[in-house]
Amino acid sequence: MNSIMESITSDFSYYLKTFNLYLDRTNDHVHMAKFNAEYLPDIVASIGKEGSSSLNVLGVGSGSGKTDLEILGKIQCKHPGLSIQNEVVEPNPEQISSYKAFVKEKSQSLNISFTWNQMTSEEYEKKAKERNEVKKFDFIHMIHMLYYVESVQDSIKYFHNLLETNGKLLIVTVSDGGGWQSLWKTFGSRFINSCVYLDVCKILDDMSINYQIYEVSADLDITECFIEGNEKGELLLDFLTHIINFRKTAPPDLKAEVLQYLLQTPYSREENGKIIFNNNSQTIVVDY
Ligand SMILES: C[S@@+](CC[C@H](N)C(=O)[O-])C[C@H]1O[C@@H](n2cnc3c(N)ncnc32)[C@H](O)[C@@H]1O
């Protein structure tokens, strides 16, 4: 039965369907917006090369751009006199279309130009190297996307090297010690790929790169995952495991263990009849 398990990352539309449901069931974006309001202005205050009239920003794995536009808004507020050139690297065509529609709707008031790269970060790196081009950026962000790159270490190294003087690299991943990290540490080797379990801080430490770390707490309502036959619950379970039709295609022992694990403290709690999973994330800010 194991042989027919398939990763949600093999199908852009399926991935997006599960990811959008996940977004509906978490308050992560609320806490992320709070982080952006409270901390981001200070973080971006010092970016920008002296004498430059514009800022270059790069979003890697931007998704639909909701968080990107929030970030761009904060940068613009801190640097009102400067124009912003924003590059987007995102492989999913549906996400790029959503992002473009969102830009049309929201960014008229902002002095921002957009360059779209519908490709993976590895393809972006390869293309830049082929063109012998080293474009530098004042701010680069990689939000919940490092799980999907071929080599986390190589990606961090490449994008860190693209930072302009005074530039900053912002990385968001699931929290070390949070629910996701624990689930994937326990079961990653039995899922199809072990992408969600990564230790970015160790990688940065090994590379002797300085960083600051901020914990952002969030919840994920996983109640529906325990209602057999509930379509939304199945999709959410698929996103948690990154396996298409997990309930139907996973070996019975794995399915039973995962469902049991998702109920356990300290990563889950019951609240008002709901089962709430720890969805904490960490924001890591790396200096030039
Ligand atoms: C979990 S979503 C996060 C999207 C967005 N940053 C957010 O926080 O809402 C991960 C995103 O990374 C993109 N992605 C997957 N593999 C990638 C790669 N190798 N390079 C760049 N982006 C990738 C996916 O298409 C998806 O939009």
Fill in the amino acid letter for 216.
V
Atom 27 in ligand 1: which residue has the minimum CA distance?
63
Task: Please choose, from the candidates 159, 197, 164, the residue with its C-alpha nearest in 3D space to the C-alpha of residue 181.
Answer: 197
pTM above 0.75, yes or no: yes
| C-alpha 23 – ligand 1 centre gap (Å) | 13
To the nearest 10°, report the CA torsion of 44, 46, 51, 56.
-30
Rounded to the nearest angstrom, the distance between the alpha carbon of 63 and the centre of ligand 1 is 6
Q: Classify burial at 199, counting beta carbons within 10 Å of its beta carbon; exposed 0-12, middle 13-18, buried 19 or more.
A: middle
Candidate of 145, 146, 193, 198 to mutate for ligand 1, largest count of ligand atoms within 8 Å of Cβ = 145
Q: Is the torsion defined by CA of 142, 45, 284, 25 positive or negative?
A: negative
Residue 95 CA: nearest ligand 1 atom is 27
Class of the 1-27+176-194+219-280 domain?
alpha beta
Between the CA of 253 and the centroid of ligand 1 the distance, in Å, is: 31
User: Mapping DSSP to helix (H, G, I), strand (E, B) and coil, where does residue 194 land?
Assistant: coil
Q: What is the pLDDT along the chain (288 residues), one digit of tens a residue?
A: 445 899 999 999 999 999 999 999 999 999 889 999 999 999 999 999 999 999 999 999 999 999 999 999 999 999 999 999 999 999 999 999 999 999 998 866 778 999 999 999 999 999 999 999 899 999 999 999 999 999 999 999 999 999 999 999 999 999 988 999 999 999 999 998 767 778 899 999 999 999 999 999 999 999 999 998 999 999 999 999 999 999 999 999 999 999 999 999 899 999 999 999 999 999 999 998
Q: If you take atom 16 of ligand 1, which residue's CA is the nearest one?
A: 148
Nearest 10 degrees: Cα torsion 19, 25, 29, 31: -140
Q: Which atom of ligand 1 is nearest to the CA of 172?
A: 8
Q: Which residues line ligand 1 (CB under 6 A)?
A: 19, 60-63, 67, 89-92, 95, 120-122, 143-145, 148-149
Ranges in the chain annotated CATH 3.40.50.150: 1-27+176-194+219-280, 39-174
CATH of 39-174, one of 3.40.50.360, 3.40.50.720, 3.40.50.800, 3.40.50.150: 3.40.50.150
